[in-house]
Amino acid sequence: MAIYSFWVFDRHCNCIFDREWTLKSNQSSGTTNSKLNEDTAKLLYGMVYSLRSISQKLAGNEAHNEIRTIATGKYRAHILCTASGLWFILLSDLKQEDLSHVLRYLYGEIYVKTVAHNWLSPIDFAESEAEKRGQGFRKIRNRNFLLRVEQFLGPMVN
């Protein structure tokens, strides 16, 4: 099992959480909610957005054709798009063929319980009009969310 990074995007195209591991041997290596990852996040968003629009066109009249995985020569991206417009994206090596169960756990058991059920945490991270148009900078800083993501995904890194 090897995963490389985990991303969450909200419905305003903003990256609200990113976690990237840089060393296979070290579970605590890498960055969390890093400024340096802003450009990568935009490219990733763009790629998924483009492929989503393609898949929706290919589906024709049947409206539901969400994208699941994207494989390149080097890595595989697993995608979960929720009804509320959130995207959970997990980058893994090519051996992981389907990690949708992991993404569903991250959404249902971690995000919903630590962010959505948490009355003190904002549910919409864009607070102004500009932030709703892709200028957002706020991230999930909730301690419980960070901790549980780390506990859940950490063992999968190496």
Half-sphere exposure of 34 (CA within 13 A, CB side): 15
Let me know: does 55 contact 67? Beta carbons within 8 Å. Answer: yes
CB of 153 to other proteins, least distance (A): 13
Half-sphere exposure of 120 (CA within 13 A, CB side): 6
55 binds other proteins (CB under 8 A): yes
CB of 12 to other proteins, least distance (A): 21
59 binds other proteins (CB under 8 A): yes
Residues 6+ apart with CB under 8 A from 116: 123
- Cα–Cα distances in Å, from 36 out to 3, 39, 61, 98, 106? 19, 7, 40, 28, 24
CB of 105 to other proteins, least distance (A): 19
Residues 63-102 that bind other proteins (CB under 8 A): 64-76, 91, 97-98
In the block, which residue shows the tokens 């102004």? Answer: 128
Residues 9-48 that bind other proteins (CB under 8 A): 20-24, 30, 40, 43-44, 46-47
Binding mask 98-117 for other proteins (x = CB under 8 A): x-------------------
Distance CA 121, CA 144 (A): 11
Let me know: does 140 contact 17? Beta carbons within 8 Å. Answer: yes
Residues 116-155 that bind other proteins (CB under 8 A): none
CB of 122 to other proteins, least distance (A): 28
**Which residues sit at the interface with other proteins, rule CB under 8 A?**
4-5, 20-24, 30, 40, 43-44, 46-47, 50-51, 53-55, 57-62, 64-76, 91, 97-98
